[in-house]
Structure 1
Amino acid sequence: MKDKINHLKTIFNSYSEILFLENYIAGAVLFLATFINPNIGVAGIVALLSAYMFARFINMEKTFLSTGFYTYNPLLVGMSIGYLFKITPLTIFFTITAGIITLVFSIMLYSIFSYYLRLPILSLPFVVISSTIYLAVSNYSNLFVDSLYPHMNFSFLENYLPVWVSGYFKSLGTILFLPDVLIGAVFSAVIFAVSRILFMLSLLGYYAGTISAGFLTGSFYQAFLDISHFNFILIAMVLGGIFLIPSIRSYIIAVIAVISSTIVLSAVKTFWAFYGIPAFTLPFNFISLTFLYVLGLVGFPLIAKVIRKTPEETLDYYITSINRFKGYSISIHLPFSGKWTVWQGFDGKWTHKGSWRYAYDFVITDENGKTYRNDGLQLTDYYAYRKPVLSPVRGRVVKVVSDLPDNPIGQVDRENNWGNLVIIYDIRGFYVEISHLAHKSISVKEGDWVEVGSFIGLCGNSGYSPQPHIHIQVQPSPEIGSYTLPFSFVSYTSGNRFFSNNLPSEGEVVEPVFPDKSLELKMTFILDYQFVYDVKIGGKQIDQLKLVVKMAPDGTFYFDSGRGQLYFGKHEGTFYFYRIDGNDPYLKLFFMALPRMPLFYRKGMYWEDHIPIKIVSEGLTRAGILFLSSFNHNLASVKYTGIWAEEGVIEGKILSTLPKLESTTYVQLDETVGIKKVQVDDIMIELNRFIHTKEG
C-alpha cells in the first residue's frame, strides 16, 4: 500500500514540477485538470508512465525519481502529442516511444549541463524532442489520416472578462496545453495556494512581457490575445524565485529578462512557423539559461545554492543560513593554544591589501592591551615571541623556510616578506601558509603529514614583521605569497562566548577549544538507533514520540518520526540540527531547544544561533512573513541563545519580534547517548527508552 502511495506521489510531483512546485497535492489538481481534454490527459500520463517504468527497468534509484524531476519533460512531450493527435493505438505507441526518448535525453542533458555548465535543464528536453516529433510526423501519413482532431473551445468565461485578464489565464493554461480561462484560473489558484511569491511573479512576468510586446507591435489587444506569452510567466518564476533567492534584485532581474525575451519570442515564432512548429518553451529556456549562466559567471551572490520545495522555503533556508553560518566554506582552526589577540584581519589597515587581503595576524596582549613587557625593545619582551604555533588543518607539508633570522625590533626584512614559513596542503583542496616563524624553530619538513593541533614551530619575527606575531592565510597554490582566499575560523571562544565558525574582529581576544570526547560519543547516533519519548504538558503525558536514526542518499543522518525528518550532523567541534522536512511539531521542539551545541563544556559558556521561520510559525502568518521578507531579508529573525548551565544541561532563550515570540528552553543530555529531556515552555519531551538495534 505504501509503495502504491509513493508511486502516485511521484506521478503527481511530475505535474507540479511543470510549475516549479514539489507538491503532490498541487500535482493531483493539475493531473485532473488535464483530462478536460482527454487526449492531452491520456497522452500525458502514458508518456510519463512509460518513462517512469523504463527508468525503473534500467535500475534508476527510486529516490531520484520521487520528485518528478526526471519525468516532467516526458509528461510535457506526451501532452504535446495529445494536443496534436487524438488517442488511438497508433498514437499510444508513438507516445510511449517519445516518453522513453525524452527520459533518456533528459538524463544525458542533465549530466552535461550540471557538470560542465552548472545549469538546470529546465524544459529543454521537451522543446528538443517535441520539435523533433512535430517535424517527424509529417512523414507519418497514418497519424494524419487517423489521429488529427479539432480542438474544442472551453473558454465560455472569456466573453465576461477583459482581455488583459483572460489573456493571463489563457497563457497560464497553455503551459499544460489547455489555453482556457477556467483552467488558467484553476492553475493560478494552485500556484497561489502553494507559493504567494510564485503567484506574484506569474503576474509580474506576464504583464511586463505582454505590455512590452504591445509597445513593440503597436497593438495591446493583439498582445493580450497571444497565448505564447506563457513564456514570460515561466521566465519570471524561474529567475525571480526558483534559481535566484527571492528579493528585490531577483525581481528586477526577472523583469529585465522577460522584457528581453519579447524579441526572442518574436524571432522564434517567425522562424519556427516556417516548419509549422509552435515556439513551445524555447524562448523561456534560452533566456533563463543565458541569464543564469552569466549570473553564475560573475558570482552573483543571490544564486540559490540550495533549492527547497517552494521559493518561500528557499528564502527561509537562505536567510537562516547566512545568520547561522557566518563563516566561509573554507574553515580552519586557530594556529595556537591559549588566548591570543587579533592584530590585523581581512582588509587590514597595514599590509592585508589587494591580492593579500584575506589574512589574519595574531599577537598576545596583557590586561592593558600591550604586546610586550618592559620597554619592548628586545624580542624577548614580546609575549608572543617563541610561543608554540600549531597546525590549523590536517594535510601534507609542501613548503618549509626556516633559516631566516628574526629581525631586531625596529627593523624588517623587505626582501623576504613572509619570513620563515610553513605551507600545508589541506586535503579539502587548498593551501594554508603560516608565516614569520622563529629562526630554526620549525619542527616539520616537506612531505610530513600533520593533524590539527600538531606542533609546527615557534612564533618569531622573521620577514616583513615589525613585532613577533603569527600570520596566516589561505591560498589556491603552494607558491610563497600566492594571492589569498577568504576563510574563517572554527571552534573558538571570545570571552565566554563560543563561536562555531566565524571571523573575529581586530582587537578581539580569542582562544581555540577542542571537542570533548565524551560529548562527541553522546552525540554519535548509529543507524537504526531508536528513541522512544513521552510528550507531556504540565506533567501529564499527552502523546508518545518514536525517533529512528536513518541516512539520506547524500550521507546526511536524520531522525525519522514517521511524520517528519530532523537532519543533524557534527562539524568541527559542533553538533547541529540542520533542517526539518515534514510537519512534525515535536521535531520542531527539538530544533528550537538545541539548534546547535558545542561539543565542549565550560560552565557559563554561551552561544547564539538562528531558527528558521518555518519552525516557529504556521499558515498565513508564516506565508505573510516570508513574502514580505523577500523585499527585506532583515525583516524577520528568530534568535536563539544557549548556555551551559551545568554539565549535561543547556538552558536557552528564543526571542523574535516578527513573528512575535519569547520562549525558554531546556535540554538535558543522556548519560550514555543522545538527549534525555527537551522542554520548550510548558511542553516536555522525556526519554522513555532507548533501543540499540532495529529488532529491539
Structure 2
Amino acid sequence: MTTVLKGQAQVDFMPSALTGVLFSVALFLAGWEYALYGLAGTAVGTATAHLLGVERGRIAAGLEGFNACLVALGSAVLLGPDRPATVVVALVACVLVTVVTGAVARVLGTWALPTLTLPFCLTATGIALAAPGLPRVWPHGAEVAALPRPVGGGAAPDLTDLWHAFFANVGQIFFMPQWYVGLVFLVGIFAADRRAGALACVGSVTGTLTAWALGVPADQIASGVPGYNSVLVAMALCGVFLIADRWSLAYAVLGSAAATAATPALGSFFAPSGGHAFTWPFVLVTLLFLAAAPAFPRLRTPLPAPAPSDTHPDGAAAP
C-alpha cells in the first residue's frame, strides 16, 4: 500500500506516502469514486510494472504508478465514474500506459530527456479520440464535440476568482476544479517538501496572472483550467530536473507562463475530440526548456547522476 500511495504522490514529483494519503483525502472530498479510481489506477499500473519485471527500486519508490493514476482519473472524468464501461476502460488503459511508459522512456532517453506525463497524455488522448465512436463506452449519445469558438471578453476576475484559481490550479492536475480540493493537494505537497510547495505556489500565481493578462474570462481562471500546467512546469524546472537557484526559478516562471499560453492552443488543436489538453502543455514546454537548458551555462542539472533505483521516472533525482 505504501508503494501505491507513493505512486499517487509522484504525480507531483513527491516520493512520499504521507503525501499520497493527503492526495487520497483530497480526491475523496471531490467524490469517493475519484479516490477509488486514483488508488486503483495506481495499483494496477504498479502491479503491471512488477509483472513485467521493472526494476524493484523504481517500483518501491512509487515511480511506476503516477501515469496510471492520471489515466484512471481521466477515464472517470471523461466517461463518468459510475459506469461499468468506464471501469473496464480505466483498467485496460492503466495496463497499457505502463507499456507506453517503457516505449516513451526508450525514445526520449536517446536525448536524455524525461518522459514526464507523456505516457498519460498519449493514452488519455487515445481514449478521448476513440470513445465517441464506441457506443458502449461513450456516455454522451450522439453528441459530437464542437469546434472552439472565440472566447468572449467576460468580466475581469475579482479577488474571489483569484484565490479560488490559486488552489484550483493545483487540484486540476488531478482533474478536480474545487478550490478546497486543491488546498488539500497543496498541503500534501508541502508535507513532503516545503520548497516544492513554494514552487507549486509560484507556478499557480504565474499561471493565474498570465491567464488574467491574456484576457481569459474570470470563470475559466477560477476553475483552474488555464493554470494547472504552470504548477507542474514550475516544479519540474526548479528543483526536480534543474538545480533550484535564482536562475532556474526565473526559467521556471518563464516556462510556467508559456505553458499557460499554450493551454488554449492545445485545447483548440484537440477540439475534435472534446478539446482536452490534459497535461500536454506541461509536457511540451518542459521538454522544450530542458532540451534548451544545456545551452545556458547558468542552468545546472543535478550531479552526480543518481543510480536508476533512486531516480524519478523521468530520469531526474526525486526531490
CA contact (8 A) 1:242 1:307 kept: no
Change in CA separation of 1:259 and 1:307 when aligned onto 2, cut-off 3 Å: farther
Separation in structure 1 between the aligned mates of residue 75 and residue 98 of structure 2, nearest angstrom: 16
Q: Cα RMSD between the aligned structures?
A: 2.5
Separation in structure 1 between the aligned mates of residue 303 and residue 69 of structure 2, nearest angstrom: 27
Deviation of 1:306 (Å): 5.3
Separation in structure 2 between the aligned mates of residue 145 and residue 132 of structure 1, nearest angstrom: 16
1:107 and 2:102 matched? yes
Query: Where does 1:231-270 land on structure 2 (aligned, <5 Å)?
Result: 231-270=229-268
1:96 and 2:94 matched? no
Separation in structure 2 between the aligned mates of residue 224 and residue 284 of structure 1, nearest angstrom: 19
Q: Deviations over 1:351-371 (max 9, x none)?
A: xxxxxxxxxxxxxxxxxxxxx
Letter of the 2:254 counterpart? I
Match of 1:51 among 39, 45, 54: 45
Change in CA separation of 1:178 and 1:263 when aligned onto 2, cut-off 3 Å: closer
Match in the other structure for 1:211: 209
Match in the other structure for 1:119: 113
TM-score using structure 2 length: 0.83
Match in the other structure for 2:65: 71
Query: Where does 1:434-473 land on structure 2 (aligned, <5 Å)?
Result: none
CA contact (8 A) 1:135 1:277 kept: no
Deviation of 1:53 (Å): 2.3
1:20 and 2:18 matched? no
CA contact (8 A) 1:41 1:82 kept: no
Change in CA separation of 1:553 and 1:105 when aligned onto 2, cut-off 3 Å: closer
1:87 and 2:82 matched? yes
Change in CA separation of 1:553 and 1:168 when aligned onto 2, cut-off 3 Å: closer
Deviation of 1:112 (Å): 2.0
Query: Where does 1:206-355 land on structure 2 (aligned, <5 Å)?
Result: 206-217=204-215, 223-298=221-296, 301-305=299-303
CA contact (8 A) 2:19 2:188 kept: yes
Separation in structure 2 between the aligned mates of residue 132 and residue 281 of structure 1, nearest angstrom: 14
Match in the other structure for 2:145: none
Bigger radius of gyration, 1 or 2? 1
Higher relative contact order (CA 8 A, sep 6+): 2
More helix by share: 2
The alignment of Structure 1 onto Structure 2 pairs a total of residues equal to 291
Letter of the 1:262 counterpart? T
CA contact (8 A) 1:43 1:87 kept: no
Instruction: Give 5+ residue unaligned stretches, structure 2.
Output: 142-158, 310-319
Deviation of 1:91 (Å): 2.3
Deviation of 1:184 (Å): 1.0
- Percent sequence identity is 25
Match in the other structure for 1:438: none
Deviation of 1:297 (Å): 4.7
Match of 1:143 among 134, 137, 148: 137
1:130 and 2:128 matched? no
Match of 1:201 among 199, 219, 229: 199
Runs of 4+ aligned residues of structure 1 deviating over 3 Å after TM superposition are: 144-147, 218-226, 297-301, 305-308
Match in the other structure for 1:29: 22
Deviation of 1:225 (Å): 4.2
CA contact (8 A) 2:177 2:224 kept: no
Instruction: Give 5+ residue unaligned stretches, structure 1.
Output: 1-7, 148-160, 309-551, 555-696
Instruction: Give SS of 2:13's match.
Output: coil
Q: Deviations over 1:249-307 (max 9, x none)?
A: 11111111122223322211222223213111111111111000111355555112358
Separation in structure 2 between the aligned mates of residue 86 and residue 113 of structure 1, nearest angstrom: 33
Deviation of 1:239 (Å): 0.6
